[in-house]
Structure 1
């Protein structure tokens, strides 16, 4: 099947494919940066001793993890204008990716924090450290190292999820592949180049995860 691909048509769309790949990388990078910020805040709330704050953090994590990204994306895309908030499709896509991935990032960070021996918390408490000092100076520096590989795995998931943004007319890699299929009636060529682009990103991130695991001798998670 792939031997019959029309290379000439694919070559004609190379500038569009390159731009789509760059847009996918930009959207994924921005989305993951937002997810890190949201994840740290949500994790901090979910382990708070104050019940109300803990309920807010846990509620957000459960709500996001219990609903599909597509529903969240459509809720923002169609719901925000009903509230009088009109945003560009790209910004809506980044917000959706950040909110969705942020819940999973929060759980990854929480698992890293729970892996820290309780004695270190008690030692910091007996030394008079405040809650924020304990988190900033003792907890988070130790929690980051074992969570990097799972974080890269989540980044891979986010990159693949970014393909859903084509449904709200964001021009990224999947949208360009769809355009090839519609313009030239060549769905195989469109899907093939889309898959190739995502494979490139996947192997780059996988190599990064392997490099990190090799340096710190953290078992790589498949």
Structure 2
């Protein structure tokens, strides 16, 4: 089936693929970092008893989770200019990925916090620990341990979702594959190479998550 597979063309386009890989890595890393911040803030507002914080956070989370990412990207890319706000393609993609993943991360963190047994929190109160000490020594270590696997999954989803940015002309991995296909009409070579690079990113993220989880387990045991 792959008798006509042409490695020479792949090596010819390798510099362009590496450029796309760097772009994908940069967009994904920045988006994940900002999404963690946005998700943490949204979670804090979501579990707050202050209505002015709680209800806007609920609205943000539900609106983002109930609409497709592609619609959100198109809204930011085509809708904002009609309001007089012009943002470059890469920044538009990062904002869209951040807002989308931030909503899911907020729910992941909230689930981790609520998974901590109430009895442990009550024991912390009885021991004289204040709110920040309870968060530091009781709630957050357990919540982080519970949320590392789903946060890894969400990070992987974000990396794969970054392929949608090719639809707004961001030169990332998928866009490079489309370019090679349109110029040489070799979709097999193009998108197998794209898939290979996405797998490399996936295994790097998986190794990082496994390492961080082992460190967390060690610290808890210690």
Task: Return the alpha-carbon distance in structure 2 between the equivalents of residues 202 and 67 of structure 1.
Answer: 25
1:175 CA drift (Å): 0.5
- Cα shift at 1:134: 5.4
- 1:103 and 2:103 are equivalent in the alignment: yes
- 1:2 equivalent in structure 2: 2
For residues 7-26 of structure 1, the aligned pairs below 5 Å read 7-26=7-26
Distance (whole Å) between structure 2 residues aligned to residue 85 and residue 28 of structure 1: 23
Aligned to 2:180: 180
CA contact (8 A) 1:97 1:158 kept: yes
Is the Cα–Cα contact under 8 Å of residues 17 and 176 in structure 1 kept in the other structure? Answer: yes
Alpha-carbon distance in 2 for matches of 1:113, 1:119: 13
Structure-2 change in CA distance of 1:216 and 1:129 (3 Å): closer
List aligned pairs for 1:112-191, cutoff 5 A. 112-122=112-122, 127=128, 129=130, 135=135, 138-191=138-191
Distance 1:50 1:135 in 2: 19
In the superposition, the TM-score normalised over structure 2's length comes to 0.89
1:124-171 per-position Cα deviation (integer Å, ceiling 9, x unaligned):
5674835x6755665334422221121111110000000000000000
Q: Single out whichever of 47-56 and 71-80 deviates more from structure 2.
A: 47-56
Measured in 2, the distance between the counterparts of 1:120 and 1:56 equals 30
Q: How large is the Cα RMSD of the aligned pairs?
A: 2.2
Offset, 1:69: 0.4
CA positional deviation for 1:196: 1.1
Taking the TM superposition and a 5 Å limit, the aligned residue runs for 1:76-95 are 76-95=76-95
Structure 1 alignment gaps of length 5 or more: none
Query: Contact 1:65/1:104 (CA < 8 Å) preserved in 2?
Result: yes
Which residue of structure 2 aligns with residue 39 of structure 1?
A: 39
**Residues 48 and 17 (structure 1), Cα distance of their counterparts in 2 relative to 1, 3 Å cut:** same
Q: How many residue pairs align between the two structures? A: 217
TM-score by length of 1: 0.89
